[in-house]
Amino acid sequence: MLLRPPGATGGAAEGPRCASILPLRVAGLRYAAGGQKILRGVDFTIAAGLPTLVVGPNGAGKSVLLRLLHGLLVPQAGRVAWAAPPEEARRRQAMVFQRPVMLRRSALANVAYPLALAGLPRTERAARARAALARVGLAHLAERPARRLSGGEQQRLALARAAALAPEVLFLDEPTANLDPAATRAVEAIVRDIAAAGTKVVMTSHDLAQARRLAGDVLFLHRGRVVEHAPAERFFAAPRAPEAAAFLRGELLA
């Protein structure tokens, strides 16, 4: 069993655990960089369940939003409030970047590395890392240097690396942006698998078809604001915001 359900014991050195770090409440989030306002006051709540897809045109602020939620960026205003103390919330989330960084090590060592940081005993690491690789179909490449893998394999490795931590929340930033259809299918299957095992996936995408396939709910971001946040079915059938409707019709939003 690779992904333990939320609430089960995860990392090694940990204090008393809350039942869940969710829901995540975001209020009044603002972020600017280089004199440019990227997020202009963002409010929403993310609950446990099916994946939340953050969609919107390029430059809407999707990647920045994910980095703020994950704690890699500090907002100029507003709050990112987890249902657990920040330290614990931090330990129980993971993120996969659009261009994941492959350490200059074998695929297996790449998966084992964050497990070591999480304080997992050496004996457990290898077994858990191998299981994670097997789940993404990379068991046969375990000893291969990670940077020699193809783009699709690297993305799957990055997913295995994050999933091996058994996070309660997993942020994925455009995980299929640079992949061909076959690799995209493989990555989506893994994402579904991870979500089914009880991890809350929060994922950005500019691909509406992908959002339809994966989303439980949709957070539509446009020009640094959440224009609409709705269950996926409702969002795709009858978007309420005119910008969302235009985006769904395939119009280019300025």
Residues that bind another protein (CB under 8 A): 70, 72, 90-91, 94-95, 97, 100-101, 103-105, 113-114, 117-118, 145, 147-148
Indicate the SS3 state at residue 205: strand
Q: Which two tokens stand for residue 125?
A: 């690491």
> Are 202 and 52 a contacting pair, CB within 8 Å?
yes
- Residue 83 buriedness (CB in 10 A; 0-12 / 13-18 / 19+): middle
Shortest approach of another protein to residue 120 CB, angstroms? Answer: 12
Give, in order, the Cα–Cα distances in Å from 248 to each of 190, 212, 213.
26, 11, 14
What's the closest the beta carbon of residue 65 comes to another protein, in angstroms? 15
Residue closer to another protein (CB basis): 122 or 249: 122
Of 61 and 239, the one with the shorter C-beta distance to another protein is 61
Is-contact 246 253, C-beta < 8 A?
yes
Q: Which is nearer to another protein, 90 or 234 (CB)?
A: 90
Residue-wise DSSP of 155-197: HHHHHHHHHTT--SEEEEESTTTT--HHHHHHHHHHHHHHHHT
Q: Rounded to the nearest whole angstrom, what is the least distance from the CB of residue 67 to another protein in the complex? A: 8
Q: Minimal distance in Å, beta carbon 147 to another protein?
A: 4
| Nearest-approach distance from CB 114 to another protein, in angstroms | 4
Question: For another protein, which is the closer residue by CB, 40 or 148?
Answer: 148
**Residue with smaller CB distance to another protein, 3 or 118:** 118
